[in-house]
Amino acid sequence: MDDLRAKYIDLIANAADEATLEDLRVKAVGKKGEISLQMRELGKMSPEERQVAGPKLNALKDEINAALGAKKAALADAALNERLRAEWLDVTLPVRASRTGTIHPISQVTEEITAIFADMGFSVAEGPQIDTDWYNFDALNIPSHHPARAEMDTFYMHRAEGDNRPPHVLRTHTSPVQIRHMEKYGAPCRVIAPGRVYRADYDQTHTPMFHQVEGLAIDKDISMANLKWVLEEFFAAFFEIDGIKTRFRASHFPFTEPSAEVDIQCSWVDGQLKIGEGDDWLEVLGSGMVHPKVLSAAGVNPDEWQGFAFGMGIDRISMLKYGIPDLRAFFDSDLRWLRHYGFASLDVPTLHGGLSR
C-alpha cells in the first residue's frame, strides 16, 4: 500500500496536463484501477485482516482522490495564468491610425449648430422624414393647388389603388416639425429641428436629399428684431467671425408674414469657396414671423401668441465654413474626401471647448 501511495502521489505531482491526470485516475481508482482491485481483495480476507486493511485502503483512495483534485485545480490555474499572460492587451495604446474613422462634416456641423442654439435656450425637436401632405403643406398654409407645392419638386410616396390613407410625401423641408411641436407642447416654445429633407433637384448646390435646421420661437412679444439678433448671433458664433456680412432680403413664404431670405457674403475663385470676402452671396436660409394661420393649424391661439421661424440649409453653411465647393461630394462616400474633410471622433463641439478644432 505504501508503494502504491508513493507511486501515484509522485505520478500525480508530475502530471503535465488534464488528460494525463484523467489517465492516472482510471489506473488508480477507476473501476479496474489498482486500488479498486485491492479493495475487491478485502472479501477474501479474514475479518481481523479486513479490519486493518479496509480503513487503510479507504484512506488511501481518499488521499489519491484529493491529490487528483488539487492537481486538477493547479493545472487550471496555470492554464488561466498562461492565457492571461499570452492574451494581455495594453488598452492605453493609441488607436491604430489606419483604422481611424471620421465624423462626417454634416454630423459635426449639426452638433455645432445644436451647441450654439442650446446656449441661446433652444432645445432640439424631431419629426418624421415621411410625413403627410397635411403637415408638409396644408398646415403651413400651402393648400392643394398653391404654386409653392409645384416649386418644391416634391417626392410623393406611391399609393396602391384603393388606399385611402392621406397622401404621404418625403418632407420637402423641416417646417412640418413646427406644427408637430406646437400641436404637442403648445406655446411658448423655443426649438430647433435639424434633419434630412428631400427635393427632386440635382446640381453643384442641390442634391435630392439634403439637410435643414428649423428654428421656432413663440412667445407673447417676439418680433422680427429678435429673429435678426438670434441669426446674427448664430452666424458670428458658427463662422467664428465677428460682424460677418449677411444680407436680409424681403421674400415670400406662405407660412411666414413678413418673410426674409438671408444670404452670406462669399467668393468663388478657382473652384474655391471662401466666406466673408468677395462679392458673391450664398443663400442659406428662409425666415419670417409665423403666419397666424399656421399657429391656428397647430392649435395655438394667434391672438395670444406670435413668433419667428427659420429654415437653414445645414449643407450650405457647412460648405461655406469648411470651403467645400461641391455639395454632391458630401454624399459620394469617397474615403479620401471623408478623411480630408472628416473630424476626429472625440472632438465633440462645445462653446467652451471650441466649435471646430
Asked if residue 254 binds ligand PHE (CB under 6 A), the reply is: no
Three cell numbers written together for 196: 434630412
Q: Which residue from 136, 175, 207, 306 is in contact with ligand PHE, where contact means CB under 6 A?
A: 175
| CA distance linking residue 312 with residue 321, whole number of Å | 14
Residues 204, 210, 212: CA angle, nearest 5 degrees? 120
Q: Which residue from 25, 149, 171, 173 is in contact with ligand PHE, where contact means CB under 6 A?
A: 173
Q: How far is the CB of 140 from ligand PHE (least distance, A)?
A: 8
Asked if residue 311 binds ligand PHE (CB under 6 A), the reply is: yes
Q: How far is the CB of 125 from ligand PHE (least distance, A)?
A: 13
Asked if residue 256 binds ligand PHE (CB under 6 A), the reply is: yes
Identity of the residue, 251 or 356, whose beta carbon is nearer to ligand PHE in the bound complex: 251
Asked if residue 294 binds ligand PHE (CB under 6 A), the reply is: no
Among 251, 262, 271, CA closest to 317: 262
> Looking at 34-42, 78-86, 181-189, 305-313, which segment touches ligand PHE (CB under 6 A)?
305-313
Asked if residue 287 binds ligand PHE (CB under 6 A), the reply is: yes
Closest residue to ligand PHE: CB criterion: 311
Total residues at interface with ligand PHE (CB under 6 A) = 10
φ, ψ of residue 213 in degrees (nearest 5): -125, 125
Three cell numbers written together for 269: 475663385
| CA distance linking residue 108 with residue 356, whole number of Å | 8
Among 3, 333, 330, 61, CA closest to 196: 330
Three cell numbers written together for 22: 484523467
> Looking at 88-96, 237-245, 285-293, 298-306, which segment touches ligand PHE (CB under 6 A)?
285-293
| CA distance linking residue 281 with residue 66, whole number of Å | 88
DSSP for 56-117, please give it: HHHHHHHHHHHHHHHHHHHHHHHHHHHHHHHT---TTSPPPGGG---B-HHHHHHHHHHHHH
Q: Which residue from 105, 176, 195, 288 is in contact with ligand PHE, where contact means CB under 6 A?
A: 288
| CA distance linking residue 136 with residue 27, whole number of Å | 83
| CA distance linking residue 199 with residue 171, whole number of Å | 8
Taking residues 35 to 74 in sequence order and writing x for each that binds ligand PHE by CB under 6 A, - otherwise, the string is: ----------------------------------------
Among 216, 196, 198, CA closest to 207: 198
Q: How far is the CB of 230 from ligand PHE (least distance, A)?
A: 13
Q: Which residue from 253, 305, 330, 341 is in contact with ligand PHE, where contact means CB under 6 A?
A: 253
**3 state DSSP class of 219:** strand
Asked if residue 309 binds ligand PHE (CB under 6 A), the reply is: yes
Q: Which residue from 127, 286, 307, 349 is in contact with ligand PHE, where contact means CB under 6 A?
A: 286
Q: How far is the CB of 198 from ligand PHE (least distance, A)?
A: 11
Give 195's strand partners.
212
For ligand PHE, the binding residues (CB under 6 A) are 173, 175, 253, 256, 286-288, 309-311
